[in-house]
Amino acid sequence: MGDPKKAYDTYLDQLVADAKAAVDEAVRLGVADPDRIGVTGHSHGALMTANLVAHSDLFRAGVATSGSYNKTLTPFGFQNETRSVWEAPDVYLKVSPFFYADKLKTPLLIVHGADDANPGTTPLQGSKLYEAIRGNGGTTRLVMLPHEPHWYTALESNEQLVYEMLRWFDKYVKDAAPRSTATEH
């Protein structure tokens, strides 16, 4: 919405509103239980996943694969954001879930290729988000896939990814107790 050169100024609001609309529609259609929804994404989708679990209560758990979670580490732009961190520091901080790790209480599985050479999604991004969440008492797991680039190619790595995701979602989404619906007295 608005000026494409400043799309990330309202990124979080748009992201959460879009996810809420999708969840609401899935619940309305009867194909989703609002107490048992997970979210996953790869690369920029991983950034979106981490931001959704940090800034909304729509999801019970998330899985983020090979993402970029601290945009100040890509100071000269990212995706369609052409402003540098010095031109738009508030945008870089606001879109970086790393800086909200103290509020990230929804379980987040982080998977990363150990040999990711993409300059925006180096393995350091996954490691540092993991450390930040753990250091702030959140629930997270980091899985580094050996010898894998940004897109996982080995059969064993893809099998490991599926195993980890199923185990994570079984534990934190499928088997999760429904959220309490407290009423005022």
* Confidence class for position 184, pLDDT limits 50, 70, 90: very low
- pLDDT(53) > 90: yes
Q: Provide mean pLDDT across the span 98-121.
A: 97
Are the beta carbons of 124 and 78 closer than 8 angstroms?
Answer: no
Average pLDDT of the chain is 93
- pLDDT(16) > 70: yes
Q: Provide mean pLDDT across the span 65-71.
A: 98
Q: Catalytic residue positions?
A: 43, 116, 150
Residue 2 region by backbone torsions, left for phi larger than 0, else alpha for psi between -120 and 50, else beta: left
* Confidence class for position 176, pLDDT limits 50, 70, 90: confident
DSSP 47: H
> Would you state the pLDDT for residue 182?
42
Token pair recorded at residue 178: 């429904």
Q: Between 4 and 26, name the one with better pLDDT.
A: 26
CATH code of domain 4-174:
3.40.50.1820
> Would you state the pLDDT for residue 75?
96
| Cα distance between residue 58 and residue 52, in whole Å | 8
> Would you state the pLDDT for residue 6?
80
Are the beta carbons of 81 and 8 closer than 8 angstroms?
Answer: yes
**Angle CA(118)–CA(162)–CA(111) in degrees, nearest 5?**
35
Q: Between 143 and 5, name the one with better pLDDT.
A: 143
| Cα distance between residue 84 and residue 78, in whole Å | 9
Give per-residue pLDDT as tens, 74-86: 999 998 899 999 9
pTM of the model: 0.92
Are the beta carbons of 46 and 97 closer than 8 angstroms?
Answer: no
Give per-residue pLDDT as tens, 136-162: 999 999 999 999 999 999 999 999 999
